[in-house]
């Protein structure tokens, strides 16, 4: 199957707009597509093909990849170029255009049968005390899955086959291994619900393939106190945006709160008299109480008095743009914000290192561990239900790792006289 390149690009432009991609994202893809058109013109090519896309990547970007090569190891424009070509490959690989849906985008084409099923499943998840974010994530992924099934002519789950599920899994080839494994888990849970609660003849274990999860975590940035002071020092607190961002970063640095809890922080969560923060965690639904340090409290007050928009809202932190929604609604990237200030402060990062707001949570856990704070107490401060959940945050204490080091001479001595068999 071959299609004219100009017709294919026009179809994708309409699809991007229909899916409410931002103008910024559209412009990025448009630049790559324009470059591809120039390449096709130079080589007298009218029709797009997978081989043509691979030749373009190799000639213009020095990237050699097959249809299912991951993009995680690429950076900046190379990654965007590969993703752009993968997008154009969709009609050839899957018979249709498959794009990542915006999380706030609701497909109107989903049948009422599937729509009702999703609503019932969402209510079921809430009854089981899944957090709103977790439930929304499940429904978001299932909506994409069911929409794909409809496009393949599967209008009811009683007609679902392993081949149909596998065809959907193939569309996830450029997602991370963790994301694919998470999607498979969500599908199994959903199909188990349909079997147990809706009496549908389904066998989730046979329908949904098991994909081995690759555990190769990237080390997060462990901030020094001086680095954090440098980051806070470059924030311009002479304007409302700077006042807000200063308070946000300082609160995350001193409390270890998850970013979702900072976004959703209410005035009612702050006990000014007792200098405490009390809230119910978005992720776990468990109550959490933390001290509000003096410096952090004054930073929040400065923002409320001199930087926060004068609107009636129960949320502490608001968007800087009218109509001033809460930060829970305005999905500004906190990770990008932190990286920008870090670059201004001259903070260096290792290649592939995690540098988002969650690294501040790792920082607090590591510093508490180095101060000989017991792991159960660290788990309590971080708001974890069990100590095991806290282990991932406490594996970067350099001093504790030094205590685990072995002396090579001692090891050599202990091995002397040991007979090795093969």
Beta bridge partners of 239: none
pLDDT band at 267, cuts 50/70/90?
very high
Final residue in a domain of this structure, among 207, 236, 254: 207
* Across 106-120, average pLDDT: 78
Strand, coil or helix: 308: coil
Contact between 284 and 383 under an 8 Å Cβ cutoff? The reply is yes
Q: What is the pLDDT of residues 332-383, one digit of tens each?
A: 777 788 888 888 888 876 665 566 667 777 666 666 666 666 666 666 666 6
Residue 371 placed within a domain: no
Final residue in a domain of this structure, among 360, 375, 402: 360
Q: For position 335, what pLDDT does the model report?
A: 79
Q: For the stretch 153-180, what's the b/e string if a residue is b when 16 or more beta carbons lie within 10 angstroms of its beta carbon? A: ebeebeebeeeebebbbebbebbebeeb
- Same-domain check for residues 336 and 230: yes
Does the pLDDT at position 87 exceed 80? no
* Across 164-174, average pLDDT: 80
Contact between 190 and 130 under an 8 Å Cβ cutoff? The reply is no
Q: For position 105, what pLDDT does the model report?
A: 44
Q: Which helix (H) or strand (E) holds 368?
A: helix 358-370
Q: For position 104, what pLDDT does the model report?
A: 43
Does the pLDDT at position 412 exceed 60? no
- Same-domain check for residues 171 and 244: no
Q: For position 343, what pLDDT does the model report?
A: 85
CA separation, residue 72 to residues 28, 78, 352 (Å): 18, 11, 10
> Shortest CA distance to 328 belongs to which of 255, 253, 254, 248?
248
Provide the CATH number for the domain around residue 289.
1.10.443.10
User: Above pLDDT 70, what percent of the chain?
Assistant: 70
Residue 218 placed within a domain: no
- Same-domain check for residues 203 and 119: yes
Instruction: Report CA torsion sign: 35, 84, 133, 136.
Output: positive
Number of separate domains in the chain:
3
Q: For position 422, what pLDDT does the model report?
A: 45
Rounded distance between C-alpha atoms, residue 87 and residue 98, angstroms: 7
Residue 369 placed within a domain: no
**Could you tell me the pTM of the whole model?**
0.56
Q: For position 364, what pLDDT does the model report?
A: 67
Contact between 361 and 392 under an 8 Å Cβ cutoff? The reply is no
Residue 380 placed within a domain: no
* Across 86-110, average pLDDT: 59
Does the pLDDT at position 63 exceed 70? yes
Residue 370 placed within a domain: no
Q: Which residue has the tokens 């609701």?
A: 106
- Same-domain check for residues 180 and 269: no
- Average of per-residue pLDDT values in the chain: 77
Provide the CATH number for the domain around residue 45.
1.10.150
Q: What is the pLDDT of residues 278-330, one digit of tens each?
A: 988 887 777 888 889 999 999 999 999 999 998 899 999 998 887 888 887 77
Copy the structure tokens of residue 354.
């995690």
- Same-domain check for residues 244 and 160: no
Does the pLDDT at position 389 exceed 70? no
- Same-domain check for residues 241 and 342: yes
Domain housing 308: 225-360
Exposed, middle or buried by CB within 10 Å (0-12, 13-18, 19+), for 195?
A: middle
Contact between 328 and 321 under an 8 Å Cβ cutoff? The reply is no
Copy the structure tokens of residue 236.
């311009």
- Same-domain check for residues 154 and 268: no
Q: For position 415, what pLDDT does the model report?
A: 46
Q: How far apart are the first and last CA of the chain?
A: 57
Exposed, middle or buried by CB within 10 Å (0-12, 13-18, 19+), for 88?
A: buried
Final residue in a domain of this structure, among 68, 94, 120: 94
Does the pLDDT at position 75 exceed 80? no
Pairing relationship of beta strands 47-48 and 270-271 according to DSSP bridges: unpaired
pLDDT band at 98, cuts 50/70/90?
low
Residue 413 placed within a domain: no
pLDDT band at 121, cuts 50/70/90?
very high
- Same-domain check for residues 135 and 193: yes
Residue 291 placed within a domain: yes
* Across 103-115, average pLDDT: 65
- Same-domain check for residues 306 and 270: yes
Residue 128 placed within a domain: yes
Rounded distance between C-alpha atoms, residue 78 and residue 273, angstroms: 53
Rounded distance between C-alpha atoms, residue 229 and residue 14, angstroms: 47
Question: Other C-beta atoms within 10 Å of 150: how many?
Answer: 17
């Amino acid at each position: 199957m071959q299609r004219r390149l100009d017709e294919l690009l026009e179809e994708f432009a309409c699809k991007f707009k229909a899916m409410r991609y931002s103008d910024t994202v559209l412009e990025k893809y448009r630049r790559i597509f324009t470059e591809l058109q120039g390449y096709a013109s130079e080589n007298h090519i009218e029709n797009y093909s997978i081989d043509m896309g691979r030749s373009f990547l190799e000639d213009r970007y020095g990237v050699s990849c097959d249809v299912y090569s991951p993009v995680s190891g690429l950076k900046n424009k190379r990654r965007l170029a590969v993703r752009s070509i993968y997008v154009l490959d969709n009609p050839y690989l899957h018979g249709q255009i498959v794009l990542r849906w915006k999380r706030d985008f609701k497909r109107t084409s989903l049948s009422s049968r599937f729509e009702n099923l999703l609503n019932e499943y969402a209510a079921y998840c809430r009854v089981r005390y899944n957090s709103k974010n977790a439930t929304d994530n499940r429904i978001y992924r299932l909506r994409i899955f069911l929409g794909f099934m409809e496009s393949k002519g599967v209008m009811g789950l009683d007609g679902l086959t392993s081949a149909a599920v596998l065809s959907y899994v193939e569309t996830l080839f450029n997602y991370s291994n963790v994301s694919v494994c998470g999607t498979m888990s969500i599908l199994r849970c959903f199909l188990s619900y349909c079997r147990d609660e809706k009496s549908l003849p389904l066998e989730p274990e046979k329908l949904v393939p098991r994909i081995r999860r690759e555990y190769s975590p990237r080390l997060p940035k462990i901030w020094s106190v001086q680095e954090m002071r440098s980051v806070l020092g470059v924030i311009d607190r002479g304007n409302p945006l700077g006042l807000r961002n200063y308070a946000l970063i300082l609160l995350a640095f001193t409390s270890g709160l998850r970013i979702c809890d900072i976004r959703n922080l209410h005035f009612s969560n702050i006990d000014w008299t007792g200098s405490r923060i009390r809230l119910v965690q978005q992720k776990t639904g468990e109550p959490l109480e933390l001290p509000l340090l003096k410096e952090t409290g004054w930073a929040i007050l400065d923002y409320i008095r001199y930087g926060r928009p004068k609107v009636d809202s129960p949320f502490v932190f608001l968007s800087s743009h009218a109509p001033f929604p809460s930060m829970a609604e305005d999905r500004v990237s906190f990770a990008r914000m932190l990286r920008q200030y870090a670059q201004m402060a001259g903070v260096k990062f290792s290649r592939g290192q995690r540098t988002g707001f969650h690294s501040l949570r790792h920082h607090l856990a590591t510093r508490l561990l180095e101060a000989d704070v017991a792991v159960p107490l660290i788990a309590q401060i971080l708001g974890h239900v069990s100590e095991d959940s806290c282990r991932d945050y406490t594996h970067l204490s350099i001093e504790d790792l030094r205590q685990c080091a072995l002396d090579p001479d001692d090891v050599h001595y202990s091995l002397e006289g040991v007979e090795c068999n093969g």
